[in-house]
Amino acid sequence: MKKTYIYGLICLLICSCTGGFDPTENAFITLKAPINKCEEGSLNSDSNLLNVDFKWQIANGTFTEGEIVLLERLTEEEIRRIPVQDINSLIQQQVSLEPGKWFKWQIEAIPEGYSEPIKSDLKEFYSELIFEDAAPYPVIITELLNTSNNLEFEWEHPQEDPNGNNLKYVVFYTYGESKEGVAIPNLQFRKFEDEFSSSSPQKRINISADEFEPGSTQYLKVQSIVTLSNVEFSSNTYFKFITK
């Protein structure tokens, strides 16, 4: 009888230590919208803010509270938190945002009986500028190559100009010593010699690594420009990278 009791106690301790009974183990949150695109919304004429619908799905868990967490896309610094009144039944909530900006976001929710939240993956999106004479959408930049000899980047426009205007792209990059900790408005950029348009077969640049201090934090900037009635409207996209 004593051996049976000790064996049962050991089994209980093993299960407890390995978290075998943790009800949050299989719980997860899936973000549905907005994700990886320009997000349209309705304009609030009083505040000039864009009303955007956030959508998500929760599975295998019951939660006591939850929040939508908005982050700055480049630095991932927290912008604000929006409480969700009933995270278990509500799968959509409208949030007012400044138009013409990139954001990252995620859902944080606290499982019932626990004090620490679980988090969804991070997703990013652009709040669409909806004024007729607005600047074009920023581009999406991808790092293709990063070696001790050279770096290669390409970009794409997430959506065609609705009026069929031909866009021009001008590329800039920082150089020299590391720019870690330098605010974007204080950065000094060097202009890439070639210019591109929306009709260019390839939107790609190659930069020699000799331009940079090894292991340094640098930035690429792609300026998207459209000309309407002889007036230029532009938007900038910044991409942070670390050299080899």
Q: What is the pLDDT of residue 236?
A: 85
* % of the chain residues with pLDDT over 90: 31
Which two three-digit tokens encode residue 240? 């942070």
Ordered alpha helix ranges (H), the chain: 2-17
**% of the chain at pLDDT higher than 70:** 76
* pLDDT tens digits, one per residue of 197-223: 888 878 899 999 999 999 999 999 999
Total-model pTM: 0.55
CA–CA dist 129, 170 (Å, integer): 20
3-state secondary structure of 16: helix
Asked if residue 6 has pLDDT above 60, the reply is no
- For the stretch 136-180, pLDDT in tens is 777 889 999 999 999 999 998 765 555 566 788 999 999 999 999
Where do the domains of the chain lie, and which CATH numbers do they carry? 27-127 (2.60.40.10), 140-242 (2.60.40.10)
Cα–Cα nearest to 191, from 170, 167, 211: 170
Q: What is the pLDDT of residue 158?
A: 64
Task: Answer yes or no: is pLDDT of 41 > 90.
Answer: no
